[in-house]
């Protein structure tokens, strides 16, 4: 049979013979590669095992390091009489820097295990540093801005802030980003370099502000006296108020109501609750006095048909 095939191949002239030679070369090359792979298999397996071990040890170092940073920062904060927000901010920033350093070391070890010359890569990076710097301007800006935010102490972890029209509580301040969680639970990751305007509502005290819409038909002096009487009770009964809320008389005139403002100094983060309590008291007192607050009544159109 083989003789018949050879005879047919010879009769078909050189093209068939060339194909057979090409197939034979491919099979021979595949066999050589398979043999080389089997020879190198123990080395590859060892490299993979060592790389996995390096990553595992790196994860352990990360976990231990984070715990140590947390303990050290808290001890330093107690000795330095720092606030909880300042301690959490320092812990967040130092942990972020520590993470980047460990990640870099792990990547360097793994590349070295697979025969990659890390020093040559760093040398190339140094030669191309100018070109890389243009592409990493945003990253450098984020890092520098993060350092200034930490040094100036304009915000701390746990502060209630508004950053770039995004409001919420600061959950962490890293070397590159600041994380804010809003009141609905949404998380915003804001690059530090993009932070332009910060409104911090957690420094010192906060004011609860309530604007009361009073009807034009009622005597305005009487309205102010009623509100002052109710706020004297509120100052004694509402938790968090250190004094009587200030009734600032007439604030402005609206199309259908006179606006009277009530302002009360209160602890940070409590102003929403206190504002709700004040509104509830004002509505109940107006109902008791028989005063109807201005409101819009939706017109009802009768069907002509």
d(CA 1, CA 273): 97
Q: What are phi and psi of 196, to 5 degrees?
A: -110, -50
Residue 121, pLDDT above cutoff 70 = no
CB-based contact 159:202 (threshold 8 Å): yes
The three-class DSSP label of residue 209 is strand
d(CA 115, CA 236): 75
Every domain range in the chain assigned CATH 3.30.70.100: 206-289
Strand partners, 247: 262
Every domain range in the chain assigned CATH 2.30.30.60: 128-203
Is residue 133 very low, low, confident or very high in pLDDT (cuts 50, 70, 90)? low
The angle subtended at Cα 161 by Cα 267 and Cα 168, nearest 5°, is 100
CA trace torsion 193, 199, 200, 203 (10° rounding): 130
> Which of 48-52, 87-91, 163-167, 212-216 is predicted with the least confidence, judged by mean pLDDT?
87-91
Burial per residue of 153-164, b for 16 or more beta-carbon CB atoms within 10 angstroms, e otherwise: eebbbbbbbebe
220 or 29, which is more confident? 220
d(CA 285, CA 288): 5
Query: What are the tens digits of pLDDT across the range 36-92?
Result: 656 666 777 787 888 888 888 888 988 888 888 888 877 766 655 455 666 777 777
Instruction: Take residue 167 and report the two structure tokens written for it.
Output: 């409001």
For the 206-289 domain, the top CATH level (class) is alpha beta
Query: Within 10 A of 251 (CB to CB), how many other CB atoms are there?
Result: 13
For the 128-203 domain, the top CATH level (class) is mainly beta
Residue 154, pLDDT above cutoff 70 = yes
């Amino acid at each position: 049979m083989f003789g018949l095939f050879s005879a047919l191949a010879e009769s078909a002239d050189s093209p068939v013979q060339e194909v057979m030679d090409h197939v034979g070369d491919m099979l021979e090359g595949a066999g050589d590669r398979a043999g080389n792979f089997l020879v190198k298999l123990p080395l590859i397996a060892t490299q993979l095992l060592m790389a996995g071990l390096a990553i595992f040890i790196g994860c352990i170092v990360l976990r231990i390091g984070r715990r140590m940073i947390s303990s050290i920062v808290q001890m330093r904060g107690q000795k330095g009489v720092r606030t909880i927000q300042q301690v959490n901010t320092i812990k967040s920033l130092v942990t972020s820097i520590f993470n980047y350093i460990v990640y870099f070391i792990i990547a360097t070890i793994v590349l070295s295990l697979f025969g990659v010359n890390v020093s040559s890569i760093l040398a190339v990076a140094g030669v191309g540093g100018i070109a890389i710097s243009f592409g990493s301007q945003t990253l450098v800006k984020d890092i520098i801005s993060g350092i200034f935010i930490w040094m100036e102490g304009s915000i701390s972890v746990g502060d209630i802030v508004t950053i770039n029209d995004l409001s919420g509580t600061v959950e962490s301040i890293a070397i590159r980003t600041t994380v804010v969680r809003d009141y609905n639970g949404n998380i915003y990751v804001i690059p530090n370099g993009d932070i332009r305007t910060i409104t911090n509502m957690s420094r010192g005290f906060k004011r609860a502000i309530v604007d009361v819409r009073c009807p034009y038909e009622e005597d305005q002096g009487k309205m102010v006296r009623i509100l002052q009487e109710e706020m004297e009770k509120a100052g004694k009964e509402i938790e968090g108020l250190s004094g009587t809320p200030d009734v600032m008389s007439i604030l402005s005139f609206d199309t259908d109501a006179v606006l009277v403002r009530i302002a009360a100094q209160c602890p940070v983060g409590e102003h929403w609750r206190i504002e709700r309590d004040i509104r509830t008291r004002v509505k109940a007192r107006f109902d008791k006095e028989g005063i109807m607050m201005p409101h819009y009544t939706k017109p009802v159109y009768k069907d002509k048909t």
